[in-house]
């Protein structure tokens, strides 16, 4: 059994339709966790108010209050690849994430994530990711370590002023094998949640996802692509490459969702968040950070 060393947090909703107690809410909100598990965690003091006391099985639901709990998994995978800190000052940490390592706890991962690694490495507890990368994707991730300046860095992403540059490798279509290089495409469509809920799909409707894609080099049947997302939908680049008939190499979600299995560390998704650039909101200086991770198929 692997137990998270850092608590996960949830803010209770303003309106609760799932019983009168916190226990009833947790059972309804996390339907895949048995009630007996929640009762055991509560008895052991593993569920408590943020900066407050542990709850009991009878603790009443309290709207909008923050609750902490400690995630548990039977067997947590160990990712055999190193992360690196590319930059650190009093406000931010910029880290270089390897393939297979999640940014934050989730699923089978509680302590083996980039956030937990950085907390252990730096001794800083107040570290918050300002954006996310998929667990399968490697590359540059920005973290805030200063609560006073955090909103300014969040604003960079919400305003769309951060420039992101990705690299990807994919099997070429017959047409792509013949085009003159470099070849550019601009993809614009609508992406929405699908089933199961952790995957997305392209649907008809108003455009909400835009990407610029460039085929810059070829090696046999493989192509090296430069990708610039102009919006930030989940799995956007993976879906946009799929829409061109060239899904990213070793993608376990698209075009066909593969059954959950032990990570195949010799077949990482060939997608890399190569570079992150922005004008620092505190200094007005241009900041550019580049990953040192590699795409193993190129």
Mean pLDDT in residue range 178-183: 97
Residue range 79-106: mean pLDDT, rounded? 96
**Residue scoring higher pLDDT (127 or 10):** 127
Nearest residue to 227 via CA among 182, 257, 161, 278: 182
* Strand runs labelled E in the chain: 2-3, 8-11, 47-49, 66-69, 72-73, 84-88, 92-97, 128-129, 138-144, 163-171, 183-193, 200-203, 209-219, 222-229, 271-279, 286-290
pLDDT in tens, 262-274: 899 999 999 999 9
Q: What pLDDT band is residue 260 in, cutting at 50, 70 and 90?
A: confident
Note whether 224 and 215 are within 8 A (CB): yes
Rounded to two decimals, the pTM is: 0.84
Exposure string for 250-268, b = 16+ CB within 10 A, e = fewer: bbebbeeeeeeeebeeeeb
Lowest mean pLDDT among 50-54, 75-79, 142-146: 75-79
**β 183-193/200-203 pair status:** antiparallel
Residue with tokens 């609508």: 190
Dist. CA 138–CA 273, nearest whole Å? 6
pLDDT (tens digit per residue) in 107-157: 788 889 999 999 999 999 899 999 999 999 999 999 999 999 999 999 999
Check residues 44 and 166 and name the one with the higher pLDDT.
166
Q: How confident is the model at residue 18 (pLDDT cuts 50, 70, 90)?
A: confident
Question: In this prediction, what percent of the chain has a pLDDT beyond 70?
Answer: 99
Taking the C-alpha atoms of residue 106 and residue 112, their distance in angstroms, rounded to an integer, is 10
> 198-213, pLDDT tens digit by residue?
899 999 999 999 999 9
Higher pLDDT, 172 or 125: 172
User: How many CA atoms lie less than 13 Å away from 58 in the CB half-sphere?
Assistant: 0
Q: What is the DSSP letter of 243?
A: H
Q: What is the Cα–Cα distance from 105 to 114, expressed in whole angstroms? A: 9
Q: Is 101 helix (H, G, I), strand (E, B) or coil?
A: coil
Domains annotated on the chain, with CATH: 2-73 (3.10.290.10), 84-161 (3.30.2350.10), 163-272 (3.30.2350.10)
Question: For position 151, what pLDDT does the model report?
Answer: 95
């Amino acid at each position: 059994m692997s137990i998270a060393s850092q608590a996960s947090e949830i803010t209770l909703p303003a309106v609760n339709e799932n019983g009168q107690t916190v226990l009833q809410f947790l059972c309804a909100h996390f339907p895949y966790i048995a009630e007996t598990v929640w009762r055991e965690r509560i008895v052991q003091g593993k569920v408590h108010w943020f900066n407050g006391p542990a709850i009991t099985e009878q603790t009443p639901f309290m709207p909008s209050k923050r609750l902490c709990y400690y995630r548990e998994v039977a067997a947590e995978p160990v990712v055999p690849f190193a992360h690196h800190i590319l930059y650190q000052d009093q406000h931010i940490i910029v880290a270089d994430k390897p393939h297979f390592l999640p940014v934050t706890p989730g699923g089978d991962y509680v302590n083996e994530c980039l956030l937990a690694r950085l907390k252990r490495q730096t001794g800083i507890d107040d570290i918050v990711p300002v954006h996310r990368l998929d667990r399968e994707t490697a590359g540059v991730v920005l973290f805030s370590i200063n609560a006073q300046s955090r909103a300014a860095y969040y604003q960079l992403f919400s305003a769309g002023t951060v420039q992101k540059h990705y690299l990807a490798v994919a099997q070429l279509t017959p047409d792509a094998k013949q085009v003159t290089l470099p070849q550019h495409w601009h993809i614009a469509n609508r992406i929405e949640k699908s089933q199961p809920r952790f995957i997305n799909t392209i649907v008809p409707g108003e455009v909400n996802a835009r990407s610029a894609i460039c085929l810059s080099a070829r090696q046999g049947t493989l192509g090296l692509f430069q990708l610039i997302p102009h919006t930030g939908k989940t799995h956007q680049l993976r879906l946009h490459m799929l829409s061109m008939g060239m899904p990213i190499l070793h993608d376990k979600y698209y075009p066909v969702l593969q059954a959950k299995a032990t990570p195949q560390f010799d077949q990482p998704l060939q997608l890399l968040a190569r570079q992150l650039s922005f004008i620092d909101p505190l200094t007005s200086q241009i900041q550019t950070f580049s990953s040192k991770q590699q795409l193993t198929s190129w």
